[in-house]
Amino acid sequence: MTSPLIRSDEDLVTLESIREAASGLAGVAVRSPLQPVETLSRAAGVPVYLKLENRQPTGAFKLRGAWTAIRRMSGEARARGVITYSSGNHGQAVAFAARRLEVRAVVVMPESAPEIKVAGVRRWGGEVVFAGTTSEDRKAKASELVEHEGLTVVPPFDHPDIIAGQGTVGLEIVEDLPDVALVVVPVGGGGLIAGVTTAVKSLVRKASITGVEPVGSAALGAALAAGKIVSLDRTHSVADGLLPLAVGERNFELLHGRVDAVTVSDDAIIDATVWLHREVGLTVEPSGAATTAALRAEAIRPTGPTVLIVSGGNIDPAAVERLAGEGR
């Protein structure tokens, strides 16, 4: 499915594009705080901060990319209405942005999508269509609707405007913590880590970037090891936002040779989700807790000031307690 968003002459993601995206997000996305966590800092032996993207109006970082993509779209493309395929957070972001810009939005979601995320899409005026359980199922259904209704695709992660928007997370990290040594990023399709890497590496060359994936969905790790994109046969994890079968092509081009990747078990993710809720007072969905899980499980060993990106918080607190029971 070719996206009408793609403009070959503007296909590079640069620091300048990320800075323009940041300007365009003024009054739409919040500048999420860096929250120091003493317990994590003591355990790591270095200052550790959480970048709280769960504070965004739609509950996740995805608003940054969705808004940037739709804002930069031509008037003619917007007028046709937009469509995306999403496990939830990107769909909510597209619906939110479309409503602000008075554009029709259709979101293709998995049949297994958490109800809180389905309700979120509908709350912002998005039209929900269900299709299968994998990202490929959703993408195929979206392609069918594009063919029949002429809608404009807003990809979930593999587009320069999406990557630039997500890159504003990295821009803020460097502005707020100029001596950052390590940024730890949850990885699904790779849009967030690609944008963050571009921003951070452009400004702090010595900084390291590590992606965190569930054991059952380690597409980036497989790609880095192979030196090319690897498509997994299937993915599974409690972290429903980190389940694409492969990372995006543009994302991999920006990441190959520049980042590391580690995996964490679902038990570690559940433990981190519950710990953040009970001990830190943060309601964080499993995908957003993956970075904390990596530190607590010693999958990463920081050597300087470290930022763990908390990518989203779209989970009911009662569901966190249910996870606590299931995890035990």
The first and second tokens of residue 65, run together, are 């990319």
Band the pLDDT of 88: cuts 50, 70, 90.
confident
Judge whether residue 254 has pLDDT over 80: yes
pLDDT digits (tens, 9 = 90+) for 177-205: 999 999 999 999 999 999 999 999 999 99
- The number of residues in the chain equals 328
Judge whether residue 136 has pLDDT over 90: no
**Cα 324 from chain centroid (whole Å):** 24
Residue 88 to residue 203: CA distance in whole angstroms: 32
Judge whether residue 96 has pLDDT over 70: yes
Domains along the sequence of the chain with CATH: 12-60+159-327 (3.40.50.1100), 62-153 (3.40.50.1100)
pTM over 0.85: yes
Band the pLDDT of 327: cuts 50, 70, 90.
low
Band the pLDDT of 9: cuts 50, 70, 90.
very low
- What are the DSSP calls for 7-72, one per residue? -GGG----HHHHHHHHHHTTTTS----EEE-HHHHHHHTS-EEEEEGGGSTTSBTHHHHHHHHHHH
pLDDT digits (tens, 9 = 90+) for 282-324: 999 999 999 999 999 999 999 999 999 999 999 988 889 898 8
Query: Quick one: average pLDDT of 195-222?
Result: 97
Residue 105 to residue 225: CA distance in whole angstroms: 38
Cα of first residue to Cα of last residue in the chain, in angstroms, is: 43
